[in-house]
Amino acid sequence: MSLPMIFALIFTLFLSFYSSVLALTPLSEPPKGDPNCQNVSSILEEIRTYKNKVRVINEEIMLGSFKGSALNHLTDFVDKFGSRLTGSDSLEKSIDHVLKIMPEIGFENVHSEDVIAPKWIRGDESLKLLKPYPKTISLLGLLPSVSTPKEGMTAEIIAVNGFDELKNFFNQPFDNPVDGIKYRQFAAIEASKLGAVGTLIRSYATFTLGNPHTGLMFYEGGSLPIPSAEISIEDADLLYRLYKKGEKVEVHFKLLNEHVGNITTRNSIGDYIGSSKPDEFVLIGGHVDSLDAGQGALDDGYRVILSLYAVQVLQRLGLRPRRSIRTIIWSAEEVGRVPLGAKQYLENHLDELKTKYSIFQEADSGIFDANGLIFNGTSEAGCIMAEILKLLEPEVIPETKLVQNFSHLKTDIVPLMQATGVPGAVIAANADKYFWYHHSNADTVTAIDSKDMDVCLALWTAVSFVLADLEFMLPR
């Protein structure tokens, strides 16, 4: 279908160089005599007594019977269930599997809680360059993008390098954030207001090898929903160069998706019950849903495995902390502005979350070269966390780091932290490399090294155990 009016036929190509949302700002090592650490000196002394127990955990994972097992479990999981988009049969079967194996691993009080979430199905999609010469371009539609007409649409591309260029081209006021991730989320809204019939977004990773990415996008009232997709860095740069040379750049674009409506999915919950304070908790978890590209191994399969098998390590070693360790395998993280599984859990359990939890932990920030934690909490709590991390030196991590930058993280624990003031932590890792694979067909178990999995499992298990076994909960 060739449409006659240029302002109604524009695909807006946003070229956004993505600076990692997980750029980590190290917290300086507390100097001797630092008053914040002096306030918790007795707790720091208590932490140092755990060196031998943490060494046993580390050796069991890095050298003993658990060596390599985490990657094996992850491989079995993602090969069995594949990608796990919210609303899919594969997601619900994977949740059934998690609930089945939790008691076998050592969990008690195993149950699920319902979560209402939207279901969107990806259909046929294609992008072909027609002018100045024919070329097939790989793309991934964003969710929950609307469809094009069944026959697709043909339109001329206007290429703009960010929101400011878009504003100047149309000569209309425009003021929006320019973070790379926000182009994906908000481009369709703003481009539609200015007459575009679709948006093509440059993949926000720093490295793609022709591999486009996908992710969540938003619509809002007052603008016509238009189809939106991402293309690779290489193809985006090509179209941009052609456009800047004055070539007429014309494409044929097709996205055929289906919006089903709301469905019911489930959070999976289990406890490793504490020995003397069973009604106090350290929370760990990851989200079992994924996008429909790749296998969802990095996002978020590996964190599901860590949060399940950390408990099995403790159970096998006969280590039972004072407090309970509650593992929540979240659902519907990928399909809401706020992670929907966490949002529902917060609504169901707000009072106990405020008073019964020492910390919320989730591993939703990558696995490569993990060297510590991203932490949000008081200075005193930071002193405690830094001291716990030192227990992993040098056998697991030569030099650990505690870093703090939660401002851009979209993880399940963020709404819990915001509503309760409870501290939170995620694994600190190489974020740039993580985003090579993130939300793409390359997110498979092939990308993951067994040693990286073992390091993260040792970190996750040791930190969770010590936090659950300390005499006092973390200060707020």
Every domain of the chain and the residues it spans: 8-18+123-256, 39-120+261-469
At 25 the pLDDT is 36
pLDDT confidence bin for 14, thresholds 50/70/90: low
pLDDT digits (tens, 9 = 90+) for 130-148: 999 999 999 999 999 999 9
pLDDT digits (tens, 9 = 90+) for 199-218: 888 887 777 899 999 999 99
The chain-wide mean pLDDT, for the chain, equals 89
Least confident of 196-210, 234-248, 314-328, 433-447: 196-210
Residue 262, φ and ψ in degrees, nearest 5: -80, 145
Predicted model pTM: 0.91
Q: Which residues are catalytic?
A: 333
pLDDT digits (tens, 9 = 90+) for 279-336: 999 999 999 999 999 999 999 999 999 999 999 999 999 999 999 999 999 999 999 9
pLDDT of residue 383 exceeding 90: yes
State the Cα–Cα distance between residues 93 and 400, nearest whole angstrom: 37
Structure tokens at 453: 């999995």
State the Cα–Cα distance between residues 363 and 423, nearest whole angstrom: 14
**CATH architecture group of domain 8-18+123-256:** 3-Layer(bba) Sandwich (3.50)
CATH code of the domain made up of 39-120+261-469: 3.40.630.10
State the Cα–Cα distance between residues 394 and 462, nearest whole angstrom: 14
Percent of the chain at pLDDT > 70 equals 86
Asked if the domains at 8-18+123-256 and 39-120+261-469 fall in one CATH topology, the answer is: no
pLDDT of residue 174 exceeding 80: no
State the Cα–Cα distance between residues 109 and 103, nearest whole angstrom: 9
